[in-house]
Chains A and B, each alone.
Chain A
């Protein structure tokens, strides 16, 4: 098994709609493909059609080795032209594929309670983390895992089938069609006071407004939080410096880090938020 990233042609095994504008794609990979860590991502591109120029980053949602090959699941939302073209690809078709890339989540020792906070398709890397990083540690320290899962509306909740029974699930919808009526960060705000910062860790992934709300919410609660960020990418390899995020450095200064190489997972407290309107 190689520890490095590989570049290959991956064949689509399955590509199905799981919710309005949300798709689950399964691809076949050679056994030599390095086992991805939770939070890592891959870059994919359809070379066969006149699609966008740049590859698109997608988080690993599932990965399994079989006898003579490996399979990877990707859960994606149709956000624009690139993902729309992916959604129309059929089993048997091929993708230009490279990864696994970036630094994933880490599970610190001494953690008893884990909170997973997902907005929309941000559920993908967190479910992979739950299955690959957390459930194996249950009983060996972690005693409680709570999954806060939010979506705009009930029908856009994805990944439920992989969550049932494996953790304490708290559902939130913006329109109140299921579970808590409001954003995940709203429900988390109610609960946050009851957790002990000494043995709790939070993992989060979601759209920018959610990440920003997490930043505000956790300003006063000293619970550590690892967050997976999204930024437009060209190379995904750390070479183009296009995917910059502003972070606080040790000396209290602000500097840029690459989401693709230094992240996509960052300590929420290190992130410098700029005004929602831009720079």
Chain B
């Protein structure tokens, strides 16, 4: 971008980012499972203004999910045990994708499976569909062949599924990391080496809550995934660690409710961010956050969002 362009952009700053070959008009994506298949939010959100829509996690066959109760509010967050309920990859293409195709927005399919082969098949099916611009692999899913341990819990298993899915698709490939590990950078480095174009983090943190009157867990599944502002500092710390470890772009996720929260992640090293639970609380959250980022850039005279990404100054922490 030339200097002339930069000057002009002070009133309408340049927000475009590239995530492993995926050119996005801005760094705002919707997090999988929190934005349905896009249609649910169309009354509140100008879908064309989003960087990307990441749809609810897709599996090979439809899944009916866990018994209720599936959600519980906790301090500054919520637990969910939806159980990856979804219509299945084929029904998604036939019934849900045509709606999203009407819009000028990148569509990223979030996929999961219980075996490496299932991940491969889902990736293959989706790669052949018109209107899908990228694939995000959810490796938080339990691996039935490894006693239910999540694929993302170990670097070798995470690398295997990444490599196998890489072999099925030429689309930009994001690997979504679980925070329920000892060292997230090990997993990030492993999936980078296995061919991931970007990593997104974090998925939910496993949590629990109990009804003391009934002495029963609030969720039928007993445990659930914690999301919302409660997890933001942890997510930010992990983004910081991973951004310093890998060379591929990092997409920050976790409790982003406002433009200020999104900016925290960008400054810390995320090339893009995903908005999750905030969509439930304020259905137009993504639009408010986008406007807020633009206002911040104008206020600080920043013409291009890439100037912000990873601009964290750690030399004099706490000082001006």
Contact = CB atoms under 8 A, between A and B. Distances in A.
A232 B71 CA distance: 7
- Identify the 8 closest CB pairs spanning chains A and B, nearest first: A239-B36, A242-B71, A279-B220, A235-B280, A239-B40, A279-B67, A4-B43, A234-B280
Contacts of A45: 281
B281 A241 contact: no
B134 to A, nearest CB: 20
B170 to A, nearest CB: 30
A237 B38 CA distance: 11
B279 interface: yes
Given A45-B281, A98-B283, A237-B283, A53 B78 contact: yes
A52 interface: yes
A19 interface: no
Contacts of B85: 241, 244, 256
Contacts of A237: 36, 40-41, 280, 283
A258 B82 CA distance: 11
A229 to B, nearest CB: 11
B67 to A, nearest CB: 4
A246 B279 contact: no
A90 interface: no
Given A231-B68, A278-B220, A239 B41 contact: yes
Given A54-B281, A278-B220, A238 B67 contact: no
A239 B35 contact: yes
B64 A256 contact: yes
Interface of B: 33-36, 40-41, 43-44, 56, 64-73, 76-78, 80, 82, 85, 216, 220, 228-229, 277, 279-284
Given A53-B78, A244-B65, A279-B67, A6 B73 contact: no
A96 interface: yes
A274 B70 CA distance: 15
The listed residue with most A CB atoms (<10 A of its CB), out of B44, B56, B69, B283, is: B283
A236 B279 CA distance: 11
Nearest to A254: B64
A235 B36 CA distance: 10
B65 A241 contact: yes
Given A7-B283, A54-B78, A239-B35, A278 B216 contact: yes
Given A54-B280, A234-B78, A246-B68, A239 B43 contact: no
A202 B82 CA distance: 32
Interface string A1-26: 00011110000000000000000000
Nearest to B76: A53
B280 to A, nearest CB: 4
A107 interface: no
Nearest to B86: A241
B283 A52 contact: no
B103 to A, nearest CB: 17
A240 B280 contact: yes
B80 A232 contact: no
B73 A53 contact: yes
20 contacts: A5-B43, A7-B283, A52-B73, A53-B73, A231-B69, A232-B69, A232-B73, A235-B283, A240-B34, A240-B82, A240-B280, A241-B65, A242-B70, A242-B71, A244-B66, A244-B67, A244-B85, A245-B68, A277-B216, A278-B220
A228 to B, nearest CB: 16
B36 A238 contact: yes
B80 A7 contact: no
A242 B228 CA distance: 15
B138 to A, nearest CB: 15
A239 B76 CA distance: 20
Contacts of B283: 7, 98, 235, 237
Given A233-B71, A237-B280, 15 more contacts: A54-B78, A232-B73, A234-B71, A234-B78, A237-B36, A239-B34, A240-B33, A240-B34, A241-B33, A241-B82, A242-B70, A242-B80, A246-B67, A246-B68, A279-B67
